[in-house]
Amino acid sequence: MLTGRIYQTKPGNLATIAWNPSGSRILLINGPDDGAYTQLFTTGAQGQILRQMATLRGTGPDEYAWGIHGLAIGYFSARPSELLSPSGRVIRMLPAAWVPGCWNPAGTELLMVTRNQRRVGIWRPADPGQVQDLGALPGQAFQECSWTARPAAGTRT
């Protein structure tokens, strides 16, 4: 375990990705300039390293979604999307051709986008082999998402 250690890296190689669902840990990624591997690790709110989650081959994932079921990582390339445990172990491969966007507040649904960023869908851990296709996106500029605890004013439920 890396608790209490100092982690040194080039500033341009370290990125803050996301807070965990409880808001007590921060996911960070780091990798060398040549993209040979990417390290995922967590720090506490005060910056102390808590755990190295995983070392992934190649450059880091394009999208991350951290929920109660784990960390969903995905790529817009042909690499498979995965759901990782807090230790970094692969819990489940996510459906092919879909990339994670964000978990709903309850952690029961994961908004997904196709690799070409033209369609969105919902994946549920209770039905892991399927993505419910919600339809086409206007344009194709999926950047980021977040769920609200209740529907926004003027939207359908």
Residue 140 pLDDT > 70: no
User: Could you tell me if residue 95 is inside a domain?
Assistant: yes
Residue-range definition of the domain harbouring residue 59:
11-136
Which CATH number do you get for residue 57? 2.130.10.10
Give the residue-averaged pLDDT of 26-49: 83
Q: For the chain, where are the E strands, in sequence order?
A: 14-19, 25-30, 37-44, 49-57, 63-67, 70-74, 82-84, 90-93, 98-103, 110-114, 119-124, 127-136
Q: Between 136 and 52, whose confidence is greater?
A: 136
Give the residue-averaged pLDDT of 15-24: 79
Give the residue-averaged pLDDT of 147-152: 78
Reduced to 3 states, what is the DSSP secondary structure of residue 26?
A: strand
User: Could you tell me if residue 126 is inside a domain?
Assistant: yes
Reduced to 3 states, what is the DSSP secondary structure of residue 11?
A: helix
Q: Give kind and range of the element (H or E) at residue 47.
A: none
pLDDT digits (tens, 9 = 90+) for 4-15: 455 555 556 667
